[in-house]
Structure 1
């Protein structure tokens, strides 16, 4: 039996919005390795330190949440010179942005705060549930693909 894993991905808000709109995840500047770690049924929460990649305007919020749909990882040509890898994600459409300061008082946050610089890292289920609840995700909700639950 596969155990569900819970992940944080770090990307600017403008890039997260493109992924949510397109139903995909693209992590660590398009690298394949982080996508390989995520398996169907795993959960992904995006944290956005900035509004846009090439801007200093801060966001500092958890900005999207979704579930890995399948195992496929595929290249996507954004230009001739840039062909990043992607994986399909079923994003929760009504997720609320949660400011980082809303969770920094939690003891669990101390365990993960230095990991934000890595771009992709695993978190435990309890910490995931705290963020998911604040983002407004019911742990069971209907999607166009059927009912999603926490996988356990």
Structure 2
């Protein structure tokens, strides 16, 4: 039995919202469509999307969590949906009903933040693992349906 892991993925709010709102099921992609990071994630894992800015390359300091959900069964797959020859790797994600929430009130409470003055360092990786405590903090801040996320 797989013990679910918890992840933070980083994308612009615009891109995270596209994945969250995709029908019939949402999706995730990281690292500009790279496949390798998605192979670290397994069905049943939870993922929260953090957006440093509104649009890709943007300089506004939006700094919010956009979506939170559970990775669905299946392997990463190539999606030729963006056009212009861009074919990113994706995984399906069932996103929970939640509201977007700022990160600032959570920084001092996160286990993964070693120095609150330099809290953004880990976010440069594009995808990193966090513990269940930190995922619960995010879920609570987003007023997410924690039952659908299976967070204790």
Pairing partner for 1:90 from 89, 94, 101: 94
C-alpha distance in structure 1 between counterparts of 2:128 and 2:139, whole Å: 16
- Report which stretch shifted further, 98-107 or 83-92: 98-107
C-alpha change, 1:107 and 1:43, in structure 2 (3 Å) is closer
Which residue of the partner structure matches residue 12 of structure 2?
A: 12
TM-score (norm 2): 0.87
Normalising by the residue count of structure 1, what TM-score does the alignment of the two structures yield?
A: 0.87
Among 12, 19, 29, the residue aligned to 2:32: 29
In structure 1, runs of 5+ residues without a counterpart are 142-147
- Deviation (angstroms), 1:46: 0.4
Report how many aligned residue pairs link the two structures.
144
Question: Are the counterparts in 2 of residues 11 and 49 from structure 1 also a CA contact under 8 Å?
Answer: yes
User: C-alpha deviations, 1:25-50, integer Å up to 9, x for none?
Assistant: 01110000111111111000000000
* Runs (4+) off by over 4 Å: none
Separation in structure 2 between the aligned mates of residue 69 and residue 111 of structure 1, nearest angstrom: 31
Higher strand share: 1
* 1:131 corresponds to 2:131: no
Q: Match of 1:145? A: none
Question: What is the CA deviation profile of residues 73-93 of structure 1, one whole-angstrom value per residue up to 9, with x for unaligned ones?
Answer: 111122242111111000013
* Structure 1 residue 52, shift from structure 2 partner: 0.3
Q: Deviations over 1:69-126 (max 9, x none)?
A: 1122111122242111111000013x12221211122252524932111000000111
